[in-house]
Amino acid sequence: MPSLREHGWGRVINVGSRVATTPLPHLVEYSAAKAAVVNMATSLARHLAGSGVTANCVSPGVIVTPTMRRMFQDRAEAAGEDPDWSRLEPEVTVQSVRGPCGPCLAHRFWYLLASFLAITAPRSGVRPA
């Protein structure tokens, strides 16, 4: 951080999750850690204000990992529904992705946002070396 402040330009991008504000009962530690990431990014952004260094936290939405897939399959089984992932995936996508881009572009949107945050120069006109 000292080097970024010394150069008057830098980007700190943290990866958050919606569980920071909507914790999941079976992911207690993960939910608490993601809430801490959001808090850290907010505090860091305030600390760095005016230095040319920014701190942000982006949340990409649901990323299907084996753990997440199993969670949705377990929910389906508990509800007496077919847990086949090929049937569940379209439903999960529609239910889990909320935002202006819709389900098809959601993940691309977050990657683009993080890229934009990483390359955008501060208003001072100082550009990365």
Count of structural domains within the chain: 1
Our separate counts of H helices and E strands in the chain read 5, 2
Whole-Å CA distances, 53 to 2, 3, 59, 123: 10, 10, 20, 11
Residue 51 within a domain = yes
Is 111 a known active-site residue?
Answer: no
Tell me what pLDDT residue 101 has: 45
> Would you state the structure tokens that stand for residue 67, as one six-digit string?
């753990």
Which of 100, 115, 15 is CA-nearest to residue 60? 15
Range of the domain at 36: 1-61
pTM of the model: 0.63
Residue 105 within a domain = no
Q: Does residue 77 carry a pLDDT above 60?
A: yes
Q: Does residue 105 carry a pLDDT above 70?
A: no
Residue 69 within a domain = no
Residue 4 within a domain = yes
Residue 120 within a domain = no
Which burial class, exposed, middle or buried, applies to 78 when counting CB atoms under 10 A from its CB (0-12, 13-18, 19+)?
Answer: exposed
Q: Out of 30, 68, 71, 73, which one is annotated catalytic?
A: 30
Residue 26 within a domain = yes
